[in-house]
């Protein structure tokens, strides 16, 4: 464990949005433009201070990096304990980037109660960042639940027609899952005490526990409920279409790009390494639900008349794919799962922005209301095309990399799963292309669409980073994969007892277990297959 | 004096109570000598509480038995007495503006508040069934009068009568339980009861005594199925009295309950664990489900307060030091969030608005952002959402249950706390999402502002940095019982 920055970098990233919150609170609510500038500046600063996580991250260090550790509640062993590995570092960067985009995209969309809006958006940012950084389970849970409140307000105040229902549904679904998860956390906490005699919520310590089988099962189920609601996995997904549809654009973008990743992050960070045997035992259940989610989400998406709801259901399908790759429990599958999490953030985030733009102009999300938009909004149509291709996994774009890794990862486990996943991809292509065809191609049939203005400079800038990332990951994913290597190794070492970390295999890491010859080569496809 | 078993040092350790008594009597005198000086009464009663608190704090770390084994001056008593004094202070701060709006003279009001506080303090210190009972009576009688203090209001009168009748009934049951236990053990002292019980086999009569005691205490903490009085009394009583009733009276009853069961009836632990586990489950569930349908804020908070008694009972069921700590922590944080919520309701009472209906919360954020944000905090805290004190309280409670293997109880608890968020968030919906407004402007006077600030600070501070509170509760629970049997605290 180390902190290469030499100063509390993670705390800086974590609390930058809160500084913005304080500044906003001190600003007069009528000065709306000043409020917007402050919010944008804060989000921008938040992204800038997080950049060292990319540049200073040491891909050869298998331990936790940028670690900060302070006593918090000593009597119960809770600590202010932050640290990242490659996985969480990438999610943090995604979060700060989406923060900028979310704030920027709200400039003209939000015209009422502007001050509160940005306060909640920035507070949400801190909650999300904290959850990705915390290595203390209680601290993690604190941030995890803190996120609910600002999101509840974002949907409830600035949402569309059915906002109150959607907001409370989002809140209660997630809450039920997470309070049960809390019991799982407490069970691990007391088990750890019974073994070591120390009260601690230290996740890195929990990663070394060998919990007996019966208890593992219960803990896995408790965690599962918390994380599966958030992902969301079928059949816990029903809050998602409502929340997404009714949330304001920035809310949907953040929800899709970051909040859903909380669930998958939770699985990889907590479920897999803390209860590995139970994880293995529950593979059939999780895989089964993931496959249902993939197919069901895609079919329901195809039947949607509401543009935003369609994208929401596509999330269910894509996140099913992410879970499938993860529960293949192979290094390639988990790597693919993580890459696909980033991809989903990029492409679905962009798709929600795209819906938001026409919604702001026309105040309707009915697909039938649109048609032939490529004639009046060519720039918009081009960006939409790229993002559609990214979403359906066209080679040279990011989605392809993730899908190939996932398919490769599960193919070695089960050809049937791989087949189902592949069919999910085909269905995904079908509903996305059909959506594109109905909204963009042909002639402008609805006179209301004739005068629609194309993207403004500000709107284009909300897409630029996402386009860059989509192409970058699509063409040259190596920097991303390098950062994930040790994270995936550490998880794999827990879920599979005969697994040899690749770093150890390369001999780069002193003190790791001895390498049986030949195993190092077995992992080569991860890199080879993605170039 | 020695023949009576009193020594001068006994009076020294009773100073906080003596100061309260003297202050209360002084209030009565002042009310007669210089009538219609409500501000003077307010100042005197606050001063009395402050001096009493200061003296009390000087007893930190003391652990002795005084008055020939009738009272214990220990960390446990100290912790609870602090809860009572702070909640009495906040109640009085709420009361001054409330009484002014209601157009009621303070008169004996503050005197009664101090009397109730005095009773509570003896409930926390008593280690003898008789002392505990007298403390309980002192508190209860003061509350009967306070509940009916708004003489022209039918609801207030109804509340007083209901509370009095059911209260008297429950005291009868409690007394019956006490007499059975006395009959079986030959003592009213908790430590002697514990020793006597440990030496004898369990009998049906003893079980009956235990159940009657549990039922009697169940009335006082408003546990289901002994909760029927609570919603009507909470709704009808003057708002500050309701607040005091739901925090002070509940905490005092829990102090008494913990003393009797964990100290006195330690030998019967497995038996009463079953009883309280059952009570905890039905109390949480019925309280929360009934709260969902309420449209009156005070009624809703009454049912929510019932549910919270259920959470605290989980700590009692755990019956370990950890469980006691959890109960203490929970009652302490409950003080801030519950009184805070009632402070906001008191604020909404204006000349032209009663202000205790849910719809009166409409658009509160637009009219008084500070009150609305504070109320948001209290609601989230009551629902157990971090980073508020309520969350830390719940973590402790559920932790204690899991530690002792009562996992099912913890599951019922967390599901309940999720249910409770539904109605707490309904308040938020009214405050933040609705625009319509009624009545005159909301003004926050200095007394209410102070009470609100204390509530907010307590709710946030103990949510983000609860270490101090945990230490205090730990000390309180560790000292607890060391003077008496102390046999059963594992």
pLDDT at residue number B121: 95
Per-residue pLDDT tens digits for B150-191: 988 888 999 999 999 999 999 999 999 999 999 999 999 998
List the single residue in A73, A75, A149 with the smallest CB-CB distance to B385. A149
Q: Average of pLDDT values for A2-31?
A: 90
Q: Cβ of A141 and B386 within 8 Å? A: yes
Least confident of A32-36, A447-451, A463-467, B119-123: A447-451
Least confident of B125-134, B405-414, B430-439: B430-439
Q: Cβ of A142 and B380 within 8 Å? A: no
Per-residue pLDDT tens digits for A221-244: 999 999 999 999 989 999 999 999
Look at residue B8 and tell me whether its pLDDT is greater than 90.
no
According to DSSP, the β-strands at B71-73 and A65-73 are: unpaired
Q: Cβ of A73 and B470 within 8 Å? A: yes
Per-residue pLDDT tens digits for A189-223: 999 999 999 999 999 999 999 999 899 999 999 99
- From chain B residues 377-406, the ones with a CB under 8 A of any chain A CB are 380, 384-387, 391, 395, 398-399, 402-403
Per-residue pLDDT tens digits for B27-67: 999 988 988 888 899 999 999 999 999 999 998 888 888 88
Contact status of B415 with chain A (Cβ, < 8 Å): yes
Q: Average of pLDDT values for A77-85?
A: 93
List the single residue in B387, B395, B398 with the smallest CB-CB distance to A146. B387
- pTM confidence score: 0.92
Q: Name the residue with tokens 């953040």.
A: A254
Identify the sign of the CA torsion A484, A486, A487, A488: positive
Q: CA A527 to CA A506: how far, in whole Å?
A: 14
The domain limits of chain B are: 7-479
Average pLDDT, chain A: 89
Q: Average of pLDDT values for B327-347?
A: 95
Which residues does chain A have within 8 Å of residue B390's beta carbon, measured at their own beta carbons? none
Per-residue pLDDT tens digits for B222-270: 998 999 899 999 999 999 999 999 999 999 999 999 999 998 898 889 9
Q: Average of pLDDT values for B303-324?
A: 93
Q: Average of pLDDT values for B458-471?
A: 92
Per-residue pLDDT tens digits for B87-115: 999 999 999 999 998 888 888 899 999 99
Which residues does chain B have within 8 Å of residue A157's beta carbon, measured at their own beta carbons? 432-433
The reply to whether omega before A232 is within 30° of 0 (cis) is yes
pLDDT at residue number B6: 65
Tell me the pLDDT band of B5, cut-offs 50, 70 and 90: low
Q: How far is B332 from chain A (nearest CA, A)?
A: 17
List the single residue in A157, A175, A218 with the smallest CB-CB distance to B418. A175
Contact status of B465 with chain A (Cβ, < 8 Å): yes
Tell me the pLDDT band of A526, cut-offs 50, 70 and 90: very low
pLDDT at residue number B358: 87
Q: Name the residue with tokens 């006490």.
A: B178
Q: Which two tokens stand for residue B242?
A: 């309701």
Buried b (16+ CB within 10 A) or exposed e, B52-89: bbebbeebeeebebbbebbbbbbbbbbbbbbbbbbbbb
Least confident of A95-99, A353-357, A435-439, B431-435: B431-435
Per-residue pLDDT tens digits for A311-326: 999 999 999 999 999 9
pLDDT at residue number B86: 96
List the single residue in A152, A172, A186 with the smallest CB-CB distance to B399. A186
pLDDT at residue number A523: 42
pLDDT at residue number B284: 95
Q: How far is A247 from chain B (nearest CA, A)?
A: 14
Q: How far is A77 from chain B (nearest CA, A)?
A: 10
Look at residue A419 and tell me whether its pLDDT is greater than 60.
yes
Residue of B320, B323, B366, B385 to mutate when probing chain A, most A C-beta within 10 A: B385
Q: CA A356 to CA A353: how far, in whole Å?
A: 5
B4 to A340, A530, B63, B68, B357: CA distances (angstroms):
81, 91, 22, 8, 54
CA nearest B398 in A: which residue?
A183
Look at residue A516 and tell me whether its pLDDT is greater than 80.
no
Q: Name the residue with tokens 């990743």.
A: A261
Q: Cβ of B385 and A182 within 8 Å? A: no
pLDDT at residue number A228: 95
Q: How far is A152 from chain B (nearest CA, A)?
A: 10
- The DSSP 8-state label assigned to residue B350 in this structure reads B
How many CB pairs (< 8 A) connect A and B?
77
Q: Which residues contact B474 (CB under 8 A, 6 or more apart)?
A: A75, B325
Q: CA A457 to CA B112: how far, in whole Å?
A: 69
Which residues does chain B have within 8 Å of residue A180's beta carbon, measured at their own beta carbons? 411, 414-415
Angle of the A148-158 helix axis to the A163-196 helix axis, nearest 10: 180
Q: Which two tokens stand for residue B363?
A: 């658009």
Percent of chain B with pLDDT over 90: 70
Look at residue B382 and tell me whether its pLDDT is greater than 80.
yes
Tell me the pLDDT band of B200, cut-offs 50, 70 and 90: confident
Three-state DSSP class for residue B152: coil
Q: CA A296 to CA A291: how far, in whole Å?
A: 8
Contact status of B474 with chain A (Cβ, < 8 Å): yes
Which residues does chain A have within 8 Å of residue B403's beta carbon, measured at their own beta carbons? 190
Least confident of A6-20, A42-56, A182-196, B356-370: B356-370
B200 to A401, B203, B267, B290: CA distances (angstroms):
75, 9, 9, 42
Q: CA A332 to CA A330: how far, in whole Å?
A: 5
Q: Cβ of B399 and A72 within 8 Å? A: no
Which residues does chain A have within 8 Å of residue B471's beta carbon, measured at their own beta carbons? 75
Tell me the pLDDT band of B301, cut-offs 50, 70 and 90: very high
pLDDT at residue number A444: 86
Look at residue A515 and tell me whether its pLDDT is greater than 60.
no
List the single residue in B403, B422, B465 with the smallest CB-CB distance to A190. B403
Three-state DSSP class for residue A78: strand
Look at residue A521 and tell me whether its pLDDT is greater than 70.
no
Three-state DSSP class for residue A426: helix
Residue of A75, A181, A185 to mutate when probing chain B, most B C-beta within 10 A: A75
Contact status of B421 with chain A (Cβ, < 8 Å): yes
CA nearest A77 in B: which residue?
B467
Are B113 and B91 in contact by the 8 Å Cβ rule? The answer is yes
Per-residue pLDDT tens digits for A160-170: 888 889 999 99
List the single residue in B398, B421, B467 with the smallest CB-CB distance to A183. B398
């Amino acid at each position: 464990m180390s902190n290469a920055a030499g100063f509390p970098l993670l705390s800086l990233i974590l609390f930058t949005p809160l500084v913005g919150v304080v500044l906003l609170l001190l600003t007069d609510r009528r000065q709306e433009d000043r409020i917007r500038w402050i919010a944008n500046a804060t989000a921008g600063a938040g992204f800038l201070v997080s950049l060292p996580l990319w540049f200073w991250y040491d891909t050869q260090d298998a331990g936790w990096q940028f670690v900060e550790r302070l006593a918090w509640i000593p009597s119960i062993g809770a600590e202010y304990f932050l640290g990242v590995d490659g996985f969480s570092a990438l999610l943090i960067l995604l979060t700060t980037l989406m923060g900028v985009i979310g704030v920027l995209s709200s400039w003209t969309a939000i015209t009422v109660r502007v001050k509160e809006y940005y306060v909640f958006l920035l507070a949400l940012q801190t909650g999300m960042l904290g959850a990705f950084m915390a290595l203390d389970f209680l601290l993690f849970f604190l941030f995890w639940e803190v996120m609910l409140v600002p999101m509840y307000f974002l949907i409830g105040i600035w949402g569309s027609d059915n906002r109150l229902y959607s907001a409370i549904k989002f809140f209660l679904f997630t809450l039920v899952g997470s309070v049960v998860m809390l019991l799982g956390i407490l069970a691990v906490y007391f088990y750890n005490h019974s073994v070591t005699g120390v009260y601690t919520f230290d996740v890195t310590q929990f990663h070394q526990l060998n919990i007996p089988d019966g208890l593992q099962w219960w803990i896995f189920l408790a965690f599962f409920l918390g994380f599966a609601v958030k992902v969301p996995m079928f059949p816990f997904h029903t809050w998602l279409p409502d929340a997404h549809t009714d949330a304001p654009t920035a809310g949907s973008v953040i929800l899709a790009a970051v909040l859903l990743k909380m669930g998958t992050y939770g699985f990889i960070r907590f479920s897999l390494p803390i209860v590995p045997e139970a994880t293995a035992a529950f593979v059939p259940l999780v895989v089964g639900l993931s496959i249902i989610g993939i197919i069901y989400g895609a079919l329901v998406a195809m039947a949607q008349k509401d543009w935003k709801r369609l994208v929401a259901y596509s999330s269910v399908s894509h996140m099913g794919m992410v879970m499938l790759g993860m529960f293949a429990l192979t290094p390639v599958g988990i790597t693919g799962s993580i890459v696909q999490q980033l991809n989903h953030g990029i492409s679905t985030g962009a798709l929600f922005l795209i819906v938001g733009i026409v919604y702001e102009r026309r105040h309707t999300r009915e697909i039938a209301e649109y048609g032939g938009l490529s004639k009046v909004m060519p720039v918009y149509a081009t960006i939409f095309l790229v993002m559609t291709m990214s979403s359906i996994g066209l080679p040279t774009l990011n989605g392809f990399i993730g899908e190939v890794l996932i398919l490769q990862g599960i193919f070695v486990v089960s050809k049937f799963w791989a087949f189902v996943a592949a069919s999910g991809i085909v269905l995904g292509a079908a509903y996305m292309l059909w959506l594109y065809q109905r909204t963009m191609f042909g002639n402008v049939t609805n006179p209301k669409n004739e005068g629609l203005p194309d993207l403004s400079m500000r709107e284009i800038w909300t897409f630029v980073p996402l386009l860059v990332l989509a192409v970058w990951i699509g063409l040259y994913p190596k920097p991303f994969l390098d950062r994930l290597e040790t994270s995936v190794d550490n998880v794999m070492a827990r879920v599979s007892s005969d697994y040899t970390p690749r770093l150890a295999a390369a001999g780069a890491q002193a003190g790791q277990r001895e390498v049986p010859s030949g195993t190092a080569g077995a992992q080569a496809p991860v890199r080879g297959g993605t170039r | 004096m020695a023949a009576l078993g009193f020594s001068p040092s006994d009076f020294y350790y009773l100073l906080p109570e003596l100061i309260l008594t003297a202050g209360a009597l002084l209030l009565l005198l002042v009310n007669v000598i210089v009538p219609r000086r409500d501000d003077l009464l307010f100042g005197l009663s606050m001063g009395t509480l402050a001096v009493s608190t200061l003296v009390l704090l000087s007893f930190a770390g003391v652990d002795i038995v005084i008055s020939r084994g009738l009272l214990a001056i220990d960390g446990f008593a100290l912790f609870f007495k602090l809860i009572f004094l702070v909640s009495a202070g906040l109640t009085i701060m709420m009361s001054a503006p409330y009484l002014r709006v209601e157009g009621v003279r303070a008169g004996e009001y503050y005197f009664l508040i101090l009397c109730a506080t005095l009773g509570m303090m003896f409930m926390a210190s008593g280690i003898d069934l008789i002392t505990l009972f007298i403390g309980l009576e002192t508190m209860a009688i003061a509350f009967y009068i306070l509940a009916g203090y708004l003489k022209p209001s039918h609801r207030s009168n109804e509340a007083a009568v209901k509370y009095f009748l059911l209260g008297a009934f429950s005291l009868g049951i409690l007394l019956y339980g006490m007499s059975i236990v006395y009959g079986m053990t030959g003592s009213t002292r908790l430590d002697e009861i514990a020793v006597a019980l440990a030496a004898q086999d369990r009998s049906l009569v003893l079980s009956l005594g235990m159940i009657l005691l549990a039922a009697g205490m169940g009335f006082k903490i408003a546990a289901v199925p002994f909760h029927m009085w609570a919603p009507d009394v909470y709704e009808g009583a003057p708002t500050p009295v309701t607040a005091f009733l739901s925090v002070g009276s509940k905490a005092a009853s829990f102090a008494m309950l913990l003393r009797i069961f964990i100290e006195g009836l330690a030998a019967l632990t497995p038996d009463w664990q079953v009883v309280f586990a059952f009570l905890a489950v039905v109390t949480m569930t019925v309280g929360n489900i009934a709260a969902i349908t309420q449209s009156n804020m005070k009624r809703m908070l009454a049912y929510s307060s019932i549910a919270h008694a259920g959470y605290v009972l989980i700590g009692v069921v755990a019956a370990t030091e950890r469980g006691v700590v959890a109960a203490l922590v929970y009652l302490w944080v409950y003080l801030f969030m519950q009184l805070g919520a009632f402070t906001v309701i008191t604020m909404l009472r204006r000349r032209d608005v009663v202000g205790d209906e849910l719809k009166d919360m409409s658009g509160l954020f637009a009219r008084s952002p500070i009150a609305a944000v504070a109320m948001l905090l209290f609601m989230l805290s009551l629902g157990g959402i971090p980073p508020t004190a309520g969350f830390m309280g719940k973590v402790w409670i559920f932790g204690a249950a899991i530690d002792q293997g009562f996992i099912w109880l913890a599951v019922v608890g967390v599901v309940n706390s999720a249910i409770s968020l539904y109605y707490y968030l309904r308040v938020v919906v009214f405050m933040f999402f609705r625009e319509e407004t009624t009545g005159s402007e909301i003004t926050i006077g200095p007394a209410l502002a102070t009470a609100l600030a204390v509530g907010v600070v307590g709710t946030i501070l103990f949510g983000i940095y609860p270490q101090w509170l945990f230490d205090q509760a730990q000390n309180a629970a560790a000292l607890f019982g060391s003077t008496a049997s102390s046999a059963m605290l594992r």
